[in-house]
């Protein structure tokens, strides 16, 4: 699943950085990163707990994305419907017909087992990682 940070307050949608580094929305309220990109585990962080109401993760089905972006299936309405059918046949995932039945899902951190809100300690550790070590 491709994931992206979504800030409801400013409308920013931003994919997480492939190197695991921090990214943030344009208003700065929501920050996020891959904890484990290969396993699709992501965290969001806010400086002020009230801002959690603005933070979401958007999950996009990789098979649909790739199919719609390349090849003949993505170039026709019929092809897109076939891709959508395949993407929503995903037992145990939010994409599945029995759940959201969509190739794109909007998730509040913690709503899925691969998204969560980071603690202050986790955010500070991520910041220190970005600056190359302990500060001070
Ligand atoms: Zn924002």
pLDDT number for residue 32: 98
**Residue 28 CA, ligand 1 centroid: distance in Å:** 5
Report if residue 93 sits inside a domain.
yes
Q: How confident is the model at residue 133 (pLDDT cuts 50, 70, 90)?
A: low
C-alpha span between 135 and 96 (Å, rounded): 45
Euclidean distance between CA atoms 106 and 116, whole angstroms:
13
Would residue 12 count as lying in a domain? yes
CA of 53 relative to ligand 1 center, distance in Å: 11
Ligand 1 center from residue 8 Cα (angstroms) = 7
Structure confidence at residue 130 as a pLDDT band (50, 70, 90):
confident
Distance 29 CA to ligand 1 centre (A): 5
Query: What domain range includes position 107?
Result: 2-130
Q: How would residue 39 be classed by pLDDT, with cut points 50, 70 and 90?
A: very high
Residue 131 has a pLDDT of: 74
- Counting the structural domains of the chain, the total is 1
* pTM across the whole model: 0.90
Q: For the chain, what is the mean pLDDT? A: 93
Angstrom distance (rounded) from CA 110 to CA 118: 10
Compute, in degrees rounded to 10, the torsion defined by CA atoms 19, 15, 107, 117.
40
- Domain assignment present for 135: no
Residue 39 lies in a domain: yes
Cα(15) to centroid of ligand 1, in Å? 14
Non-local CB neighbours of 101 within 8 Å, separated by 6+ positions: 88, 95
The per-residue pLDDT for range 47-88, each reduced to its tens digit, is: 999 999 999 999 999 999 999 998 777 789 999 999 999 999
Angle between helices 62-69 and 77-87 (to 10 degrees): 160
């Amino acid at each position: 699943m491709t994931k992206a940070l979504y800030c409801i307050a400013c409308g920013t949608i931003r994919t997480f950085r492939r190197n695991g580094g921090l990214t943030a929305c344009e208003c700065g309220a929501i920050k996020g990163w891959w904890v484990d990109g290969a396993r699709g585990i992501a965290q969001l962080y806010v400086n002020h707990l009230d801002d959690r109401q603005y933070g979401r993760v958007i999950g996009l089905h990789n098979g649909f994305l790739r199919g719609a972006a390349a090849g003949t299936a993505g170039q026709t309405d019929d092809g897109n419907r076939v891709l959508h059918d395949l993407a929503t046949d995903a037992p145990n995932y939010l994409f599945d017909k029995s759940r959201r039945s969509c190739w794109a899902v909007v998730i509040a951190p913690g709503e899925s087992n691969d998204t969560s809100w980071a603690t202050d300690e986790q955010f500070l550790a991520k910041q220190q990682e970005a600056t190359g070590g302990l500060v001070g």
